[in-house]
């Protein structure tokens, strides 16, 4: 009897995302089993339990997905699972906490596509501002943008100390330099975006971060991307399906374009599906984080 394909889904949270379970099944896995409240110290043993029980053939139909909300914890879990492999019992592992890796990869890839259309130079030498930059999507977005050559600033709405902690983590883990700041008032936000080439809006759903008045202070803006699909949207004037549409409220940045949440989400959905399919179909195990996700997103945009 042919063995069925199984995705084991590790999360330190109390619940596994139904979105991720659905995605795993729709990508071709026969079964997806959630393992909740997992600690980092448990990952190695749980991974080996998953691989040694199936034999060399069955193990090829086994995968691990790592969820949660914390980017650093997910990366540590991915590393622990990878180190637990014992040849020939090796399986693929895909980390995507809160969908942050695939969402951020899709956001940056979409913005990069429009940026290249406008400047022919991509991210190198640009100035990028990430609102919501201490959340999972924003932090990952900032890291990817900085790795692509953008001078990147992460913005926390309330706390400079929090922003500084995340910037220090980015340097320690990924050797990228992020500027950290806070912006609670419209005046703070206007000051930040005055000379920005790129705005990434990754704040909580249903919160407007930049209104039309603030956007009018942007003098060099080229592309703005907003992942919020819940009204009010994060950036006034961006529609959820915008994909290179003119950002009319950026009146002092001639030709600035917008990318909306559902345009980004369409890439994210297809990207996650493709990466999950890779974990099931690859002959050689893959270990997927935001860097692999970004490479995949660029191919889809």
Residue 226 backbone phi and psi in degrees, to 5: -130, 120
Residue 84 and residue 146 in one domain? no
Query: Does 119 lie in the same domain as 86?
Result: no
Q: What is the largest CA-CA distance in the chain?
A: 67
On whether both 82 and 130 belong to a single domain, the answer is: no
Domain that holds residue 276: 6-99+267-300
How far is residue 121's CA from residue 5's CA, in Å, rounded to a whole number?
43
Q: Which of 288, 285, 284, 290 has the alpha carbon at shortest distance from 275? A: 288
Number of domains in the chain: 2
Q: Does residue 78 lie within any of the structural domains?
A: yes
Instruction: Write down the pTM of the prediction.
Output: 0.97
Provide the CATH number for the domain around residue 23.
3.40.50.10280
At 211, list the tokens.
């209104």
- Structure-token pair, residue 224: 């703005």
Rounded mean pLDDT, 103-120: 93
Q: Are residues 235 and 118 in the same domain?
A: yes
> Which strand (E) or helix (H) includes residue 182?
strand 178-182
Q: How many helices (H) and strands (E) does the chain have?
A: 11, 12
My answer on whether 257 and 285 are in the same domain is: no
**Helix, strand, coil percentages, rounded to 5, for the chain:** 45, 20, 35
CATH code, domain with 245: 3.40.50.720
* Claim to verify: residue 190 and residue 272 sit in the same structural domain: no
Domain match, 113 and 95 both: no
Residue 1 lies in a domain: no
- Judged against a pLDDT cut of 80, whether residue 1 lies above it is answered with no
Give per-residue pLDDT as tens, 29-51: 999 999 999 999 999 999 999 99
Count of CB atoms situated within 10 Å of the CB of 147:
18
Neighbours of 243 (CB within 10 A): 19
78 and 137 in a single domain? The answer is no
For tokens 């199936």, what's the residue? 54
Compute φ and ψ for 26, nearest 5 degrees. Answer: -70, -25
Looking at the fold, whether 145 and 216 belong to one and the same domain comes out as: yes
275: tokens are: 């990466």
What confidence tens digit (pLDDT) does each residue in 224-270 have?
999 999 999 999 999 999 999 999 999 999 999 999 999 999 999 99
Same domain, 174 and 241: yes
pLDDT of residue 59: 87
Residues 64 and 84 sit within 8 Å (Cβ to Cβ):
no
How many alpha carbons fall within 13 Å on the CB side of residue 226?
29
Is residue 228 located within the same domain as residue 290?
no
């Amino acid at each position: 009897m042919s063995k069925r394909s199984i995705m084991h889904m590790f999360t330190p949270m109390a619940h596994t995302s139904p979105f991720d379970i659905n995605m795993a099944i729709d990508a071709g896995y026969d079964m997806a089993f959630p393992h909740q409240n997992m600690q980092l110290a448990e990952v190695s043993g749980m991974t080996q339990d998953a691989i040694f029980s199936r034999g060399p053939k069955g193990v090829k139909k086994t995968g691990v997905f790592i969820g949660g909300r914390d980017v650093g914890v997910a990366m540590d879990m991915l590393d622990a699972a990878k180190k637990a492999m014992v040849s020939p019992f090796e399986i693929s592992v895909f980390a995507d906490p809160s969908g942050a890796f695939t969402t951020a990869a899709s956001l940056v890839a979409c913005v990069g596509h429009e940026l290249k259309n406008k400047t022919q130079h991509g991210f190198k030498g640009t100035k990028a501002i990430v609102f919501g930059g201490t959340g999972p999507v924003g932090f990952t977005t900032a890291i990817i943008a900085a790795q692509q050559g953008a001078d990147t600033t992460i913005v926390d709405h309330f706390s400079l100390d929090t922003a500084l902690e995340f910037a220090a983590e980015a340097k320690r883990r990924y050797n990228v330099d992020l500027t950290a700041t806070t912006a609670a008032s419209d005046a703070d936000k206007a000051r930040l975006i005055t000379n920005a080439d790129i705005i990434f809006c990754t704040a909580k759903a249903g919160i407007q971060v930049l209104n039309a008045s603030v956007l009018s202070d942007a003098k060099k803006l080229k592309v703005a991307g907003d992942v919020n699909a819940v009204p009010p949207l994060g950036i006034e004037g961006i529609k959820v399906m915008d994909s290179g549409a003119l950002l009319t409220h950026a009146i002092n940045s001639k030709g600035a374009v917008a990318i909306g949440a559902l345009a980004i989400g369409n890439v994210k959905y297809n990207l996650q599906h493709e990466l999950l399919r890779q974990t099931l179909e690859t002959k050689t195990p893959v270990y997927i984080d935001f860097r692999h996700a970004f490479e995949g997103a660029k191919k889809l945009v």
